[in-house]
Structure 1
Amino acid sequence: MWTHAHHRPRPRHPGGPAPRLHLRAGIVRLGSPAAQRTFGHTAQEAERTRFMAFNQGFYNLFLALLAVGGVAVGLAGATTVGLTLVFAGVGSMLAAALVVGISSPPHRSAALKQGALPLLALIALTIHLL
């Protein structure tokens, strides 16, 4: 399925830039105006939740590594293992976005941003498999 002879395009980074941006915003720039707009927090809320954001940033990084590792493993020839890792990584990202969107109406915009790229990756992978 993931052979060089197959001419369908494959997603390069299934989780896209979102996990990396959330990691950076959650760890380095949580109190910045851009991060406050993205997450809908005030500077005071950002300071109170800094450790949670730090943890969440690494959680997102590990999901992205799972997905990117799946691509690498799949391209190396272990297609089933690779697809499993990619689907687990981006599927978890999308599930987290759905939980936020369903449970917190004020954060639906952030949930849409969080879930858009994983959803597109899942659609692309599904089309690729058909």
Structure 2
Amino acid sequence: MTGGLAVSLIAAGLAVVMHVVIFVLESLLFTRPAVRRLFGVRSADDSAPLRLFARNQGVYNLGLALVVAVGVALILAAPWDEGAGAEHGAIGAAVLVAGCAVMLLAALTLVATAPRLWRAALVQGVPPLVAIGALLLL
């Protein structure tokens, strides 16, 4: 495994973990006051109508995490030399890039629509950007 591939897989793994955490916050813990405040929702009355959207968004983030995890697993399970199974590494790389690209697009959308949330956008967008960049530089 090359250094670039290792960096890509580590960054993708970090993106997976972060998106699973976001799923937990949005889908499972959204009604808790401290979690609501993370998303800028101050009152319990305001959180009730937003809960459906938060749950849906959380599941979306979990789906992205699963896509990237499948890409990582395919890469790790396949040899990168020519021969039997090498195509699974290429398929895994394509799946990883596709999932990370959507994560990156969501982060760019967040910062474009809510510039005050630039830190959250960085947390959400830097790991998939690094994963894509390191993989494409191989």
How many residue pairs align between the two structures? 123
Alignment of 1:30-109 (within 5 A): 30-43=30-43, 44-77=45-78, 78-109=88-119
Q: What SS does structure 1 have at the residue aligned with 2:134?
A: helix
**AA matched with 1:121:** A
RMSD over equivalenced CA pairs, Å? 2.0
Alpha-carbon spacing, 1:61–1:98, altered in 2? closer, same or farther (3 Å): same
Query: Counterpart of 1:54 in structure 2: which amino acid?
Result: R
Secondary structure of the equivalent of 2:31?
coil
TM-score using structure 1 length:
0.81
Q: Kindly, what percent of the aligned residue pairs are identical?
A: 33
Q: What amino acid sits opposite 1:64 in the alignment?
A: A
4+ residue runs over 6 A deviation: none
Counterpart Cα distance in 1 of 2:71 and 2:31: 33
Greater shift, 49-58 or 26-35, is seen at 26-35
The unaligned stretches of length 5 or more in structure 2 are 79-87
Q: Is the 8 A contact 1:23 1:61 kept in 2?
A: yes
Larger radius of gyration: 2
- Shift of residue 80, structure 1, vs aligned partner: 1.4
From the two aligned structures, give the one with the greater helix fraction: 2
TM-score, structure 2 as length reference: 0.77
Partner of 2:15: helix, strand, or coil? coil
Shift of 1:51: 0.6
Amino acid at match of 1:117: P
Equivalents in 2 of 1:45, 1:38: separation in Å?
14
Deviations 1:13-67 (A, max 9, x none): 1524211111000111112243234322223333221111111111111111111
Q: Which runs of 5+ in 1 are unaligned?
A: 1-5
Instruction: Name the structure 2 match of 1:110.
Output: 120
| SS of equivalent to 2:25 | helix
Query: SS where residue 49 of structure 1 aligns?
Result: helix
Q: Contact 1:98 / 1:115 at 8 angstroms: preserved in 2?
A: yes
